[in-house]
Amino acid sequence: MARVYLSLCFVALVAIGFIVNGSVADEDKKNECDKNNSEEVKFYELKKGDFSVKFTNWGATIVSVFLPDKDGKVDDVVLGYDSVDDYKNDTTYFGSVVGRVANRIGGAQFTLDGTHYKLVANEKSNMLHGGPKGFSDVIWKVKTYENEGPTPKIVFSYHSTDGEEGFPGDLDVTVSYSLTSEKELSVKMKAKARNKATPVNLAQHSYWNLGGHSSGDILSQEVQIFASSYTPVDDQLIPTGKIETVEGTPYDFLQPHAIGSSIDKLPGGYDINYVLDKDDSSKTMRKVAIVHDKKSGRVMELLADQPGVQYYTGGQIKEVTGKGGFVYKKHAGLCLETQAFPDSVNHPNFPNTIVYPGEKYKHHMLYKFSTKS
DSSP state of 327: E
pLDDT band with cut points at 50, 70 and 90 for residue 274: very high
Mean pLDDT over each residue of the chain, to the nearest integer = 90
Tens of pLDDT, residue by residue over 305-356, are 999 999 999 999 999 999 999 999 999 999 999 999 999 999 999 999 999 9
Domains recognised in the chain with CATH numbers: 43-371 (2.70.98.10)
**Beta-bridge mates of residue 141:** 157
Tens of pLDDT, residue by residue over 215-267, are 999 999 999 999 999 999 999 999 999 999 999 999 999 999 999 999 999 98
Amino acid at 191: A
Average pLDDT for 280-304: 92
> CB neighbours of 349 closer than 8 A, spacing ≥ 6?
241, 243
Amino acid at 370: S
Catalytic residue among 129, 164, 165, 205: 205
Catalytic-residue membership of 337: yes
Residue (of 200, 238, 192) closest to 99 by Cα position = 200
Tens of pLDDT, residue by residue over 107-166, are 999 999 999 999 999 999 999 999 999 999 999 999 999 998 899 999 999 999 999 999
> CB neighbours of 309 closer than 8 A, spacing ≥ 6?
225, 227, 273, 274, 276, 288, 289, 302, 336, 337, 338, 339
pLDDT band with cut points at 50, 70 and 90 for residue 281: low
Q: Is the pLDDT assigned to residue 72 strictly greater than 60?
A: yes
Catalytic residue among 164, 165, 222, 337: 337
Q: Is the pLDDT assigned to residue 278 strictly greater than 50?
A: yes
Catalytic-residue membership of 148: no
| CA dihedral over 202, 205, 208, 212, signed as positive or negative | negative
| Torsion angle in degrees (nearest 10) through CA of 161, 167, 170, 176 | -90
pTM of the model: 0.88
pLDDT band with cut points at 50, 70 and 90 for residue 41: very high
The answer to whether the annotation marks 235 as part of a ligand binding site is no
pLDDT band with cut points at 50, 70 and 90 for residue 2: very low
The answer to whether the annotation marks 194 as part of a ligand binding site is no
The answer to whether the annotation marks 286 as part of a ligand binding site is no
What angle (nearest 5°) sits at the alpha carbon of residue 317, between those of residues 313 and 319? 145
| Torsion angle in degrees (nearest 10) through CA of 123, 37, 191, 82 | 70
- Residue 143 has φ and ψ, to the nearest 5°, of -80, -40
Q: Which pLDDT value is given to residue 182? A: 85
What does the chain come to in residues? Answer: 373
Q: Which pLDDT value is given to residue 373? A: 86
- Are the C-beta atoms of 212 and 223 separated by less than 8 Å? no
The answer to whether the annotation marks 356 as part of a ligand binding site is no
183-217 exposure pattern, b = at least 16 Cβ within 10 A, e = fewer: bbbbbbbbbbbeebebbbbbbbbbbbbbbbbbbeb
Q: Is the pLDDT assigned to residue 14 strictly greater than 50?
A: no
- Are the C-beta atoms of 101 and 345 separated by less than 8 Å? yes
